Amino acid sequence: MPHETTTLYRPVGQAEFELIRASGFREFPPRLPGQPYFYPVTNEAYAVQIARDWNTKDPNSGFVGYVLRFDVLSSYLHHFEVHTVGDSRHREHWIPAADLEEFNRSIVGPICALASYRREANAGEARVFTLGDSGSSDVANNKDAMIGNSFERARGKRRRR
């Protein structure tokens, strides 16, 4: 009997993309210190928005944003609530950094690169390019700081069930 999977997306910068490529597109790298959560998003449009509108403006992302798609075992993923941040299309899972190794084992098949965006040197705007790049982002660091307490409350609710 085949296992049910859920398709997720991940916007990444240049350095993170290179680490994913080095894994053979099989896993996400460990989070950096100060990044206690991993945020896969539930829809491609949200991933594109982050990659195009945020990563291309972030020097820590190398001014590049990639949109990645991958499948995760639904039986594993259902342990984590889906959170809406911002508008109703901004839906994501909050995976504790300590759980990322187990999350990676729950990925079914390869991580696929769908698109890349780069800031043009003179124009200061993002454009779609062919695939090949990544990096850690201040956006993720700031998000961790903003929602850390909310995550801990949600995590506590999950454990009490």
Q: What is the pLDDT of residues 2-31, one digit of tens each?
A: 689 999 999 999 999 999 999 999 999 999
Token pair 């085949």 in the structure block, residue:
2
Structure tokens at 144: 């961790």
Residue indicated by tokens 């949200």: 46
Dist CA 95 CA 46 (whole Å): 17
Interatomic CA distance for residues 38 and 30, integer angstroms: 9
- Which residue's structure tokens are 């594993």? 76
Query: How many distinct structural domains can be found in the chain?
Result: 1
**List of residues 6+ apart from 10 with CB closer than 8 A:** 28, 39, 40, 41, 47, 67, 68, 70, 111
Strand 95-96 and strand 37-38: the pairing is: antiparallel
Task: Give the closest residue to 131 by CA, choosing from 49, 68, 74, 85.
Answer: 68
Domain that holds residue 133: 5-160
The span from the CA of 50 to the CA of 70, in Å, is 17
The DSSP bridge partners found for residue 39 are none
Both structure tokens of 129: 């390019």
pLDDT, one tens digit for every residue, the chain (161 residues): 568 999 999 999 999 999 999 999 999 999 999 999 999 999 999 999 999 999 999 999 999 999 999 999 999 999 999 999 988 999 999 999 999 999 999 999 999 999 999 987 554 554 554 444 333 444 444 444 444 443 344 444 444 43
